[in-house]
Structure 1
Amino acid sequence: MKMVVCGGCAASWRRCVVMSLRLLFLLPAGLPVRSQGESQSDNKQMENITIRQGETLFLSCSQGDFVTHTAWLNRSSILYAGEDKWSVDPRVSLVTLNQDEFTIKIEDVDLTDEGLYICAVQTSSRPRTTSVHVIVQVPPKIVNLSKDLVVNEGSNVTLMCLANGKPEPAIVWRIISPSDESLSSDNEVLEIPFISRYRAGVYECTAANDIAVDTQTVELTVNFPPSIADGRDVGVTLGQRGVLLCEADAVPEADFEWYRDDRRIFNGFDGIEIENDGAVSKLTFFNVSEADYGNYSCVAVNKLGSANTSIVLYEIIEPTSSTLLQEMTSSNLEHTAFENNDFLEGPGAVQDGNSGTSTVFTPTCLLLIVLLHLLLKF
C-alpha cells in the first residue's frame, strides 16, 4: 500500500493544533461546564502596562502547581506555548519559565505591539487566564512643516505644523527672533494677515506630549521698499576731506545712486569715491574744491520701490591771523571796559591809585596791539 502525503494536510494539521490549544485553555475535555461566577474567578485582569516606544516590554504571569500547559497570546496569535516559540518576530524571546513564573519579553516596542495580551494556564484541575492591556506611548515628531518663506509686505501668510505622537501632541507656534509674545498660536496653523516688515524673523513650532518635545523652525523673510534716513548736511574746509553718508532700510538690500543736481555721480568721478556697505552708502571727497560745494541727492532702489534724501556740502571758513587779531582786540577792549566799570563807585567818583594806574595802562596796551597789527600786514 502506498502512502500519499498531501501538502495541504500539513497546513490543516497545524491549524487544528492551534485551534486545539485555544480550546484547551478555554474548556478542557472531561470537565463539566462551571457557572459564570466560577469562570470569572479564574480569569484575572492585570493593570494596564504603559510603555514608551523603543523600550523593552516584559510580560509575566504566575504558574502554580500541576501546570500541564501554558502560553502567552497576543490577540489571536500565540507568542510562546511553553518553551516553544510560535512567534516569528525576532524581538520576542523567553525570559523565565518555571513552576512559579512564565515571562517573555518584546524588545524595541512599537505602536503595533499595543493591545491585549493573555497568559493562559492549564492545570490538572481547571484552566485560568491572566490578561493585560499594553499601551504604547510615542514621542511627538513633526512630520509636516512649512518651508522657509519669502513674501512681500502686506501679504497674508499661513504657516503649518503637523505632528504625530501618542498621546496626541499639543502644537505651539511663536516667533523667537525678534521675540514677540503677542505673536503666538496654540494651533497647527498660524495665520498672519497683512504681514509687515516687523513680523519677519524665525518662527518656532513646538510639538509636545507627556513623553517628549520636538521643535523645528521656519524663517520668514518679508520684502519691503526702501525707507531712507534724512540726510545730514556736512561742512568741510576747502582742500580737506569730506564724507556724505546715506542710510536706507530695505529688503532686498537697496542699490544706491548719487546725484549732483540732475547729473549722476559714478565711482571715481572727479576724484570722488562711492563705497556701499549693506544699508549704508558713503560718498567721499578727498580734496574738496569750490566746485564741490552744493546740493547732493542719494537715491535707494530695490525691486519694490525707491526713496531719496538731499545732503548739502557747505564750506567752513578757517580763522586767519587777521581774524584772530581782530577777535583778540575786541576781547581786550571788552575786558578793559569791564575792569574800569568795576572800579567806579558811582557818578563823579574819584579814582584811587589803582584805578589811575589802570587808566594809564589801557592806551599803552591798545597802542601795542595796533602796532602789532600793522607789522603783520607787512
Structure 2
Amino acid sequence: MNSIKNLFGLCLLQIFTNNFVNVNSEMQVSVEREPSFTAPIENISVALGREALLSCYVTNLGDFKVGWMRAADQTVLALQGRVVTHNSRYSVTNEEMKIWRLKINNIREADRGCYMCQINTTPLKKQIGCIDVNLPPDILDGESSKDVTVTEGQNASLYCSAIGNPQPKIIWRREDGNPMIFKVNNKTRRTDTYEGELISFNNVNRRQMGAYLCIAKNDVPPAVSKMISLNVNFAPNVSILNEKSVHVLENTHITIDCLIEASPRTVSYWIKEPFGRSYQKLHENPHQNVLQESEKYNISESFHSYYKTTLRMKISNFSESDIGMYSCVASNIMGRANATIHLYEIKIPTTTTTTTTTPAPTTSTTRRTTFAYTTRRAYTRATTTTMATTTEVSSTEPQFEYITFNPEFNEIPGGDSYINRPHLNVAYSTSRAGESSFHHVCMLVVALMSFTKLFLLLR
C-alpha cells in the first residue's frame, strides 16, 4: 500500500514539474518577445522654415503599435503609419517596423517643444525627444535708439536691442568704414568694431559725427542691421584755402576755394566789395553784394563729409574791375562766420622799339616802357627818350631803377586780420654820369662867352 502511494506521489510530482517547466518556458518566451526601445530619441535644433525629423527605434514590436504625441498637451499626432492630426506639415514613416520617424515640414516657432514616442504595452512604454527652433536675429526698433542730435561737447549714447534664438550678439561699426573714436580716461581710442548693446560717447566732437550700424547676428542667417545717425551741431568755421592776398595777371583766370566746417549744413555764398569798405558796411545788406553764377563767376559746392564743404569760385578774364575784397560767408542755426581774400591785378608789360635812319650819320631812337602792379592807383608809364641829333651819341653808363613798396595792415572787425602784399608802385629814373664830349665843348664855349661878356661890361 505504501509503495502504491509513493508511486502516485512520484507521478504527481513529475506532472507538476513538467507543467512548471512549460509555464516558465512560455513566460520566458513572452518576456523575450515584448517590444522595447533600442536607442534614445536625439534632440535636434532646426532653423525656422526648415524640416525637423525625430526618429524612434523599436524592436520586437509584434502586434503592438507605435504612436506619436505632443508631450506638452498630450495631443496625438500619429498612430502607427497614419497621421491623425489635421495638419499637412506632419508625416510618419517607418523602416522594417524598427525605425519610426516623425517629420515636420516648414518648422515654425510654435513647433518648439518635446514629442513622445509610445508603444501601447501594459504599462505604456515611451520615449521623449525635443525640437529647438532656431530663429534669425530681429532688431526691436521700439527698444532701440532713434537718430541722436547733440551739441559739440555734450555726451551721447546709442542703444540697440535684438531678439533671436540663440540670443544674437550686437556689433557696432561706422557706415562709412572709418574707425570709431572713443575717449577713455582722457585718451583717444580708435577701433573698427565695438561689441555690446550700448555704445557711449563722452565729450562728443565733430569727428564722431556719422551713421553707425547696429548689426545683430547669431548662428541663424541672415544677420540684420539698423542704421542710427549721430549728429553733432556746431557753429561754422570758414577758411580760404588760397593765400589771403593774391596778385592776378590780367586776362587770366583764378579759382578761389573756401573750406566750410559746420553742422547742420550752412547757407553759403560769395560777396565782393572794393577796397576801403568796412566790415559793417560790407555786411549791412549782404544779399545786395552776393555774386551770382555767370560767365564771369563760376560758383560750385562740393561735400566731403558730414560737416565739411568746399565753396569754389572761378573768376574768368581777370581785369581791373575785379580788384577788391571777396568774402566767403556761411551761416546756420548755430552761428555765422566769414573769411576774406584780397585780389589785385598785374598788368602785362608792353615794349615797343622804333628805328629812324638818315643818310649820314645814323641815329637810333629807343622808347622804353615800364610796368607796375596796379592797386588803387592808376596804371602809370614812365618813358625815357633820346632825341635824334646829327651826331651819333652812345653811352654804356648804368641806369638806376627805384622800386618803392607800400605795405598796409588792415583789420576787418569780426573778420580776418591780414597784411596786404606790397603794392609795387614802380617808378623809373634814368641818370648818366656825364654828357657826350660834344655837349661838354658847347657848354664850355657858352660859359666862356658869358664870362668874357661879363668881364667887358665890368671894365
TM-score > 0.5, shorter chain as reference: yes
CA shift, 1:72, in A, is 0.7
Give 1 or 2: higher helix fraction.
Answer: 1
Q: 1:119 to 1:316 in 2, by over 3 A?
A: same
Other-structure match for 2:299: 275
**Among candidates 309, 318, 338, match of residue 339 of structure 2:** 309
Cα shift at 1:97: 6.9
| 1:321 correspondence with 2:351 | yes
User: 330, 342, 348: which one pairs with 1:300?
Assistant: 330
Shift of 1:62: 2.9
**Residue 237 of structure 2 is aligned with which of 217, 227, 251?**
227
1: distance between equivalents of 2:37 and 2:342?
Answer: 101
Deviation at 1:325, TM superposition (A): 9.2
Q: CA deviation at 1:276?
A: 4.2
1:67 corresponds to 2:25? no
Q: How does 1:161-310 map to 2 (within 5 A)?
A: 161-181=160-180, 182=190, 184-220=193-229, 221-230=231-240, 232=243, 233-238=245-250, 241=253, 243-251=255-263, 252-260=265-273, 261=277, 262-263=281-282, 264=286, 265-267=289-291, 273=297, 275-278=299-302, 279-282=310-313, 284=315, 286-289=317-320, 292-310=322-340
Distance (Å, rounded) in 2 between the aligned partners of 1:255 and 1:167 = 52
Alpha-carbon distance in 2 for matches of 1:303, 1:168:
43
Deviation of 1:270 (Å): 12
Matches within 5 A, 1:47-196: 47-63=42-58, 64-75=60-71, 76-96=74-94, 99-123=97-121, 127-144=124-141, 145-181=144-180, 182=190, 184-196=193-205
Structure 1 residue 138 displacement after superposition: 1.9
In 2, are the aligned partners of 1:140 and 1:214 still within 8 Å (CA)?
yes
Shift of residue 71 of structure 1?
0.7
Shift of 1:84: 4.0
Distance in 1 between the 2:119 and 2:312 partners?
Answer: 87
The alpha carbon displacement at 1:256 in A equals 1.9
Letter in structure 1 aligned against 2:87? D
Q: Is the 8 A contact 2:56 2:101 kept in 1?
A: yes
Give the share of equivalent positions with the same residue, in percent. Answer: 25
Residue type matched to 2:90 in 1? Answer: V
8 Å CA contact 1:267, 1:274 repeated in 2: no
What whole-Å deviation, never above 9, does each CA across 1:302-354 have from its counterpart, x for those lacking one?
22212211211123243332799989xxxxxxxxxxxxxxxxxxxxxxxxxxx
Where in structure 1 are there 5+ consecutive unaligned residues? 1-30, 32-40, 328-362, 368-378
Contact 1:44 1:129 in 2 (8 A): no
| CA shift digits 1:29-70 (9 cap, x unpaired) | xx9xxxxxxxxx979643322222221112222343323232
**What TM-score, normalized to structure 1?**
0.65
CA distance in 2: counterparts of 1:307 and 1:126, whole angstroms: 91
User: After alignment, is 260-269 or 296-305 more displaced?
Assistant: 260-269
Q: Distance in 2 between matches of 1:271 and 1:96?
A: 87
Distance 1:62 1:42 in 2: 6
Structure-1 separation of matches of 2:50 and 2:297 = 68
Structure 2: distance between partners of 1:266 and 1:243: 17
Q: CA deviation at 1:215?
A: 3.2
CA deviations on 1:146-169 (whole Å, 9 max, x unpaired) are 444555434433322221111111
Q: Secondary structure at the match of 1:319?
A: coil
Bigger RCO (CA 8 Å, 6+ sep): 1
Check conservation: 2:329, 2:336, Cα contact below 8 A. Answer: yes
The offset of 1:300, in angstroms, is: 1.7
| Contact 2:272-2:291 within 8 A present in 1 as well | no
The answer as to whether partners of 1:82 and 1:97 remain within 8 angstroms in 2 is no
Rounded Cα–Cα distance in structure 1 between residues aligned with 2:367 and 2:52: 102
Query: CA 1:243–1:288 in 2, change beyond 3 Å: closer, same or farther?
Result: farther
Partner of 2:219: helix, strand, or coil?
coil
Relative to the length of structure 2, the TM-score reads 0.54
Match of 2:410 in 1: none
Task: Render the CA deviation track for 1:178-212: whole Å, top value 9, x for unaligned.
Answer: 51153543221222233322112231212222333
Deviation at 1:241, TM superposition (A): 5.0
| Displacement of 1:127 | 4.2
Are the equivalent residues in 2 in contact too, given 1:173–1:185 (CA < 8 A)?
yes
Residues 43, 129 of structure 1: 8 Å contact kept: no
- The 2-side partners of 1:238 and 1:208 are apart by 64
Change in CA separation of 1:172 and 1:58 when aligned onto 2, cut-off 3 Å: same
- 1:202-238 deviation digits (Å, cap 9, x = unpaired): 3121222233351324152433322112352221245
Cα distance between partner residues in 1 of 2:294 and 2:197? 60
Deviations 1:101-123 (A, max 9, x none): 32221111123222222111135
| Alpha-carbon RMSD | 3.8
